[in-house]
Amino acid sequence: MSKKHSGVLFLQKDMDSRLYGNAHPAKTCPGLDRGWFWEFRRIACRSTAIAMAALLAVAAAPAASAAAKTEPAHVAAQLSRIDVNDGFAELVKAVKPAVVNISVTSYVDPSGSGNRRNQGQPPQQLEEFFRRFFGDSFNFPRNRPEDDDNSRNPYPERRSAAVGSGFIVDPDGFVVTNYHVIEDADEIEVVLDDGTRLPATLKGTDEKTDLALLEISVDGNLPWLEFGNSNEARVGDWVIAIGNPFGLGGTTTSGIISARGRDLRAGQLVDFIQIDASINRGNSGGPLFNTRGQVIGINSVIYSPNGGNIGIGFAIPSAVASDVIAQLQQTGVVERGYLGVQIQALTAEIAESLGLQDESGALVTEVVEDSPAWDAGIESGDVILEYDGKKVTTMRDLPKLVARTARSQQVEIGLWRNNSDHSVKVTVGSIDRAVVASSGEDRPEDRQLGLGLAALDRVQIEKYGLGDVDSGVVIVDIDPQSPAAQRGLREGDVIKQVGVHKVSKPDDVLEAIRKSKEDKKESVLLLVRKDNYSRFVVVPLKA
């Protein structure tokens, strides 16, 4: 029997049918009426039944043997015998049983009142053309049994369904997928490779890396996969993706690693692997394999102007995912190292003004009071060049290095301060915290760089809404044609530092500028607080 669904022809088969039905000797050789050779026929019938049973036992033996071989479930032993020079068929055969489909159901209130059974917000897109892989979502009216009482719920609910992918990482039933696949889910179902559908519970999530861990319960061991080392993967290496695009399930594609270290503006903790293996909506959460059958990535994002695959996909590297998943499996939460600094990238102008040869490092703009960085003596204006023996090449390197550091671990940080190298030892904390500005003071007024400057007194605090700032010099007037205005400074901004020197009155600003001119510098570096955020700005000096 066949049935058309969503433009795809599916064959419907009864998977529970038996080959032999309720075969029994009495039905195979029906009893006979009395006769002189009755006893002979009875013996012949019994002999036939015994022979049939023996044949059935022999036929079942290979299947039982195969089941026994797969009982340990880990695919490593099978993969060690596979030669991918003959193609990927044997590799896919070995790993595919551990890849699953994820089916998610959310109940929503069609009244538009925003009353969701789950109050999470819909997932955000990374960029205008970045599409996360949900399967085609569709809504249709359906009352839940407990909501039939319209006096309690005057609006019928609609069920929103979505599909994604995942894979088993532990024989006890732990399944990895993307956070955005199960976000806002009221019900989660895992569909095994053999079609078995199992309810899943959420073990833990990590929104910062877009990962989630599910748990299912099943009798016997499950096939499972192991993480490989994505740091060893090279641009040009073969990769294989298996997943559930558009709800089709069990789809395998291959390609190469196109690039590494891609920044998709999806947080500071993931450098994505770019691949050209075809992945589409529904592939989210599925594994990306190397040719040894190890998971080196979790497929997560596609770049597409039309929603379909154009050969640009992205995966979360296993070097990030393996640690996150291990923590979720153990405790259900992820604990990250915490330093307590606000940073920005160095530019050539900023580097030159600080006496650095290049733009390597992370420039500290704020230090959170009573944080590990504060206790270690790190200051705004410091440039962090090394962290625990690892070079900080770009600003984006530092958050990842800190996040992977265990709580209470002591690390050495290499700094550039006042035109010389320094080092401090920091005992790393935990728990991500919001960066809060702090400092302290009040003063008078003067003019330089096309700026009118004033003390941070009660009048200025009330006028510009600076109640959370307690030190620095306020810009109360600015020449719209001045270099400062062209660099984005505005009335109400607070100058907290000139170069590496903190300022508490307009005279401090003037003195620092005078000194910069004496040193033949073409620009001055200002630490400016604006819109609840501090940032270094390079302002050219007038001749």
Catalytic site residues?
180, 210, 284
DSSP 522: S
DSSP 155-170: S--EEEEEEEEEEEEE
State the Cα–Cα distance between residues 512 and 505, nearest whole angstrom.
Answer: 11
Q: In 3-state terms, what secondary structure has residue 490?
A: coil
230-259 in b/e burial notation, b at 16+ Cβ within 10 A?
A: beebeeeeebbbbbbbbbbbbbbbbbebbe
Which of 196, 206, 225 is closest to 15 using CA atoms? 196
DSSP 123: P
Secondary structure, 3-state, 311-349: CCEEEEEHHHHHHHHHHHHHHCCCCCEECCEEEEECCHH
State the Cα–Cα distance between residues 297 and 284, nearest whole angstrom.
Answer: 11
Phi-psi region of 436 (alpha: psi -120 to 50; beta: other; left: phi over 0): beta
The size of the chain, in residues, is 543
